[in-house]
Structure 1
Amino acid sequence: MKLYLDTADTRAWQLPAGCPPLQGVTTNPALVEQAGLPVTLATYLRLVQAAGALRLPELMLQLPRADVAEAHDWLARLLPEAGQARLRLTIKLPCHPAWAPVIREVHAWGLPLLLTGLSNPMQLLWARAQNAQYVAPYLGRLHAEGREVWPLVQACIALQRDGVQLLAASIRDADTFGRLIAAGAHAATVRPEFAAGLAIDPLTDAAMAQFDDAIARSLAADGTAQIHRSGGE
């Protein structure tokens, strides 16, 4: 399963030791705002440049409005910048029919498309009909609303054979993360603090301490035996 970070804070665009290689970064207007940045074309261009400088394979940027003319203007600037950065640029849009004209505009530029906020199976089928490369259900948000998330996850995974890849988002616990790997999810996007929290585990640390204690006792016993043997000679 490929791993993406979900943040617009470029200072957090790396994983600590103990994590797998980073596939890329995903952002949206809310994350841009949380990073203290304006949701502007200039900001997005800086994010593309930062991703290129870090040699990230992929950056997923969400367009701010369902405005075809604006989308055209932004893509005309973003695509050459991504090419110069040698960066795969994927465009995120809400999984909603109001965005259908912008979806067509993204396809016209030949860019990969991610439909985000997917919340039910009908939306999944619609996303497939829109030729989306990725779908991103917010699992934590769905669970908080009392919805059963795993039938939707399983449906997304079943459609991966049709080329619609699951990018699971809003993952809030290690059990969900593990189940996604076991189920065959294509990718997941997590917050930097979530990834860092799993890179080192207290149970692993406890096992290492146990091993160290055993080694220390063994070496101490071997040293005592060496002294006794030397004294006997």
Structure 2
Amino acid sequence: MEFFADIADVAQVKEMQEWLPLDGVTTNPTIVARAKKELFTLIEELLAACEGIVQVQTLAYSTEEIVAEAKRLVAVEPSRIIPKIPCTQAGLGAVMRLSKEGLRTTVTGLITVPQGLFAARAGATYVAPYINWVDSMEWSGTEVVAELLAAFEAYGLDTKVIAASVKTARQFRELASLGTNAVTMPPETYKTILEHPLTDKALRNFADNWNGVFQEYKLDSKLKG
């Protein structure tokens, strides 16, 4: 599974890479707005902060304008920038054109399996279903992913599923068990999923047992007298 950080905070990206290998960073207009930096300045900072892919969303509404924006984004660093394109008619038209020119894309904002299949046939490199959004509609976001993965395999499509809007450990566990290609989450979600009270309890027990025999909780500690 590929791990992406869904954030534009450069400091947090750097901190996260100290304990988890990242395959890249994803952003959207809301995330960029929170950073309060001009977009292309922010892109350069994110490219410098991580070695992986940086995904940046287009803002235009027409196919022609989406294609132009996508090419402008990719031109910053062709080997590492992937434009995110909304799952609309105009967006899929842009994906088709960009794919024919050999450019990678992520189709974002997916809610349904047909949307993902249309995007994959258009030539998307990744499709990004919004897991928690689907769950909030009393469907199952992970079931959508399972059906997408099955459809892509059945039809011989190379498109990857990058699960977005993942909020809980249960969602992540189910995505992992399905063999989901990639996931993007903010750093705090990764940390919440990593931590567990029983892990903390085990570490406290180890320390208590050690300290009952040794003077300090150190490898070279002397026995208590």
Among candidates 164, 176, 179, match of residue 181 of structure 1: 176
**Superposition pairs of residues 1-233 of structure 1, within 5 angstroms:** 1-16=1-16, 19-37=19-37, 43-83=38-78, 87-161=79-153, 162-219=157-214, 223=223
Distance in 2 (CA, whole Å) between partners of 1:51 and 1:218 is: 49
Percent identity among equivalent residues? 27
How many Å apart are 1:223 and its aligned residue? Answer: 4.5
Aligned residues: 216
C-alpha displacement at 1:154, in angstroms? 0.6
Q: Is the 8 A contact 2:129 2:163 kept in 1?
A: yes
Structure with more contact order per residue of length (Cα contacts < 8 Å, sep ≥ 6): 1
| Structure with greater Cα Rg | 1
- For 1:35, the aligned partner's letter is A
Separation in structure 1 between the aligned mates of residue 146 and residue 186 of structure 2, nearest angstrom: 23
Equivalent position amino acid for 1:210 in 2: N
TM-score, structure 1 as length reference = 0.81
SS of equivalent residue, structure 1 residue 219: coil
**Cα deviation, residue 123, structure 1:** 1.1
Runs (5+) with no aligned partner, structure 1: 38-42, 228-233
Tell me the secondary structure at the aligned position of residue 102 of structure 2: coil
Task: Kindly state the Cα deviation for residue 150 of structure 1 after the two structures are TM-superposed.
Answer: 3.1
Structure 1 residue runs of 4+, over 4 Å off?
Answer: none
Aligned residue type for 1:216? N
* C-alpha RMSD over aligned residues: 2.4
Which ranges in structure 2 are unaligned for 5 or more consecutive residues?
216-221
Cα pair distance change 1:14/1:223, threshold 3 Å = closer
Aligned-residue offset at 1:72: 4.7
Deviation of residue 196 (structure 1)? 2.6
TM-score between both structures, scaled by the size of structure 2: 0.84
